[in-house]
Amino acid sequence: MLNINLPPWLDSVAGAEQQCFADPVARMAFVIDLAHRNVREGTGGPFAAAVFELISHRLVAVGVNLVAYTGLGVSHAEVLALSLAQQSLGTFDLGAPRLPGYELVCSCEPCLMCLGAVMWSGVRRLSCAARDEDAHAIGFDEGPKPQDWTLALQQRGIDVVRDLLREQSCAVLALYQQRGGMIYNPTHAGSSPGMRR
């Protein structure tokens, strides 16, 4: 069994679970605050995500980018938030009929890997702040996502909201870059090294 150790500061956020965030702006602000804290604490990249119940807006699980912290390339915020929600609810299918339906709120649009995780998760809505090009502007390679990725999600019954508090999320990306945060991308033949400052 894979065991991912979360940073101790993230335990303090666990107390927010069961809390409701009725306003979409409040949900996104909460997630961007997590990304900001992850940068301040030095525990990972400038990305965060959270799973909320779709109707009640109750917080179910949070995730922050822990790639460098854990040494695991799959430790993206979206994957962690979805995995922790699935673990908490006891099912891999967040779209199961017995469940109320869920939204994934992300400080940045998903990379190629996380896009697949969103499709497989069963969430019914994806809300994003920063765009791929914002992450790319500071050096992150988000992978060759199809240009019509939002349509692909919508065709699978997943609503997509973009640019919600984009400027605030971009400020976290800029802070990460100013602090010399590690830019970790996969190393491919003929490309630049996988990790650089």
Q: Establish if 7 belongs to a structural domain.
A: no
Q: Which of 17, 78, 109, 167 is catalytic?
A: 78
Residue 2 lies in a domain: no
Output the domain CATH number for residue 24.
Answer: 3.40.140.10
Q: What residues make up the domain containing 187? A: 16-196
Active-site residue, 109 included: no
**How many domains does the structure of the chain reveal?**
1
9 within some domain: no
Cβ(59)–Cβ(18) below 8 Å: yes
Q: What is the pLDDT along the chain (197 residues), one digit of tens a residue?
A: 677 888 989 877 766 667 889 999 999 999 999 999 999 999 999 999 999 999 999 999 999 999 989 988 899 999 999 999 999 999 999 999 999 999 999 999 999 999 999 999 999 999 999 999 999 999 998 788 999 999 999 999 999 999 999 999 999 999 999 999 988 876 544 444 343 32
Q: Is residue 11 part of a domain?
A: no
Residue 192 falls inside a structural domain: yes
Asked, for residue 178, whether it belongs to a domain, the answer is yes
Helix spans in 42-165 (H): 67-70, 77-89, 112-121, 132-137, 149-154
Residue 6 counted as domain residue = no
24-41 vs 166-178: helix crossing angle, rounded to 10: 0
Which residue's structure tokens are 């602090």?
179
| pTM assigned to the model | 0.91
